[in-house]
Structure 1
């Protein structure tokens, strides 16, 4: 009888999986990784893209070249343009766009989200879930972060470097409602490493502190990590941005251990790859729209709101603003 019940439950789970409707908005480095992994595990996955990218994905699907998973080729059930096509209400919506595109994407997503839809922004920054909740006005919002090195290759495939791709998820006040547990299981069943964070706000801020120093410094000097750690001046600046970001987090009431700054500085000095660069660096160098406001502007504004002084972060942000506008190349 126990064997029968176990088999019945497994069969029910397979039936449930076939009914789940999933959408991935933004098929870049992170969104592309999630799109491929989810589409191999579930039959009703919709990808959102536009223009030539949409046409190519419809015809050829998407290939993930991963050091962790190997080469994986997947097709979506549908590829749609969120701005032009009508969208069916989904059970899960993963938003994987740049922060400056979040408001527009949420406006286009309203037809895909109702009160039961679980919305998971997997993006840079610390406030994207709060912003998505405000823009959408409905849905169950999951706070998340991902540790991954992935990007879109010239041929449109996704390159995933390293043997890790870890997602952390959580909710306000670190509650664990049933729908959050289901989200964790959904990702795990697709072969994606995921766990519920005990303090998701602290985990998001930890990654943000790292990214403020990493992205800002590589973009400011347009140098790799290996080049930055050769000079005392740039090493000192990197450490100071880590410290300033940490003090803002603590002033906001985020519980992060004091040793974290030293840990990340040691990581910068000894563990990051010499040739490592950042998305902010590549975008500013190419003259593309960037997430400078995410990695610099937000931090500076929060410090001012809290009456704090973060002079190095503020100076770097002002220089990069001019650089982004082409005033200081």
Structure 2
């Protein structure tokens, strides 16, 4: 199986290494940077629990003209706001029989892709697996959850083969008919922690162990559950809240959220596709979402103030 991974950050690198370990032909596509240069020169190293590491040879392409013309699967793992621009540059160079699979954070990614690619080749999924970049060319797997992928109108045999490869690599994966519930389940975790930890600059576990942080998590999750209900995705408020709290304590407590990393590095965040998406859908259904709106506004305020923010040295 031949696979192109669009986005060579922590998650793109993890999936690339895992799939390559099972004999798949894997290429990555990303803008040129120190991380991708190191991968091209020395390979991609993945660290897992216990310090075990694996290094695989990997090619990262930096321009659309460099990529091959046929891939069975194209996995999209760029930031949500970059999806349309990146895929518009890639699609003329891709075979129309490739499945385009979004494993991105947030809402609206599949809809964005379907605007510019044939709907029948687009799939969307969600993963509970986590990773972080340790240094250039080196990543660490930091969570070991399952990955779920939605069926397409065609080519489900290809998807089945793909998830078999993922599962064999250690990334337990399934093809499921109802992917929207999976997307919302993953979204709830991001809603709970990403914006809050980016604002407070706390790790996930430190945020939920704070009484104030836990109260904010409860508020944003309850608002999101009401919006999900209006969108036809039924959640039991207390059940999804307990899950979010438990995961913060047990599974992702030591992690820095991706949005916190973006804020530290003064990069654009995905807030519009996470808490901001809850706000937008809340307005659509006349549901008040004040806590999600405040989180969204604060993140946008921080983004807009990168050049004038006061540092500890000033």
Q: Please classify the TM superposition score into its range, dividing by the shorter chain length.
A: 0.7 to 0.9
Shift of the 145–229 alpha-carbon distance from structure 1 to 2, 3 Å rule, reads: closer
> 1:96-107 to 2 correspondence within 5 Å?
96-107=77-88
Offset at residue 212 of structure 1 (A)? 0.6
Distance 2:213 2:167 in 1: 40
Offset at residue 36 of structure 1 (A)? 0.7
Tell me the residue number matched to 2:45.
63
Aligned length, in residue pairs: 307
Tell me the residue number matched to 1:5.
none
* Cα deviation 1:150-177 (Å, max 9, x = unaligned): 0112232111124x1421111369x994
1:207 alignment partner, SS class: helix
State whether residues 23 and 93 of structure 1, in contact with CA within 8 Å, keep that contact through their aligned partners in structure 2. yes
State whether residues 214 and 238 of structure 1, in contact with CA within 8 Å, keep that contact through their aligned partners in structure 2. yes
Tell me the residue number matched to 1:304.
283
**RCO (CA 8 Å, sep 6+): is it higher in 1 or 2?**
2
Tell me the residue number matched to 2:271.
292
Tell me the residue number matched to 1:232.
211
Tell me the residue number matched to 1:200.
179
Offset at residue 251 of structure 1 (A)? 0.4
State whether residues 117 and 139 of structure 1, in contact with CA within 8 Å, keep that contact through their aligned partners in structure 2. no
* Cα deviation 1:181-220 (Å, max 9, x = unaligned): 2332232344431112352111110110121111121122
State whether residues 141 and 171 of structure 1, in contact with CA within 8 Å, keep that contact through their aligned partners in structure 2. no
State whether residues 142 and 180 of structure 1, in contact with CA within 8 Å, keep that contact through their aligned partners in structure 2. no
Greater mean deviation of Cα atoms: 78-87 or 147-156: 78-87
Tell me the residue number matched to 1:313.
292
Runs of at least 5 residues in structure 1 that lack an aligned partner in the other structure: 1-19
State whether residues 64 and 93 of structure 2, in contact with CA within 8 Å, keep that contact through their aligned partners in structure 1. no
2:201 maps to which of 222, 233, 242: 222
Offset at residue 115 of structure 1 (A)? 3.4
Distance 2:22 2:92 in 1: 25
State whether residues 149 and 176 of structure 2, in contact with CA within 8 Å, keep that contact through their aligned partners in structure 1. yes
Tell me the residue number matched to 1:135.
116
RMSD: 2.7
Greater mean deviation of Cα atoms: 84-93 or 278-287: 84-93
2:57 maps to which of 75, 91, 108: 75
Offset at residue 227 of structure 1 (A)? 3.6
> Is 1:47–2:32 an aligned residue pair?
no
Offset at residue 81 of structure 1 (A)? 1.7
2:97 alignment partner, SS class: coil
Distance 1:316 1:43 in 2: 41
> Is 1:254–2:236 an aligned residue pair?
no
State whether residues 72 and 158 of structure 2, in contact with CA within 8 Å, keep that contact through their aligned partners in structure 1. no
Greater mean deviation of Cα atoms: 106-115 or 203-212: 106-115
> 1:134-283 to 2 correspondence within 5 Å?
134-137=115-118, 140-162=121-143, 164-171=144-151, 177-267=156-246, 270-271=249-250, 274-283=253-262
TM-score normalised by structure 2 residue count: 0.87
Tell me the residue number matched to 1:122.
103
Runs of at least 5 residues in structure 2 that lack an aligned partner in the other structure: none
Distance 1:69 1:103 in 2: 38
Larger Rg: 1
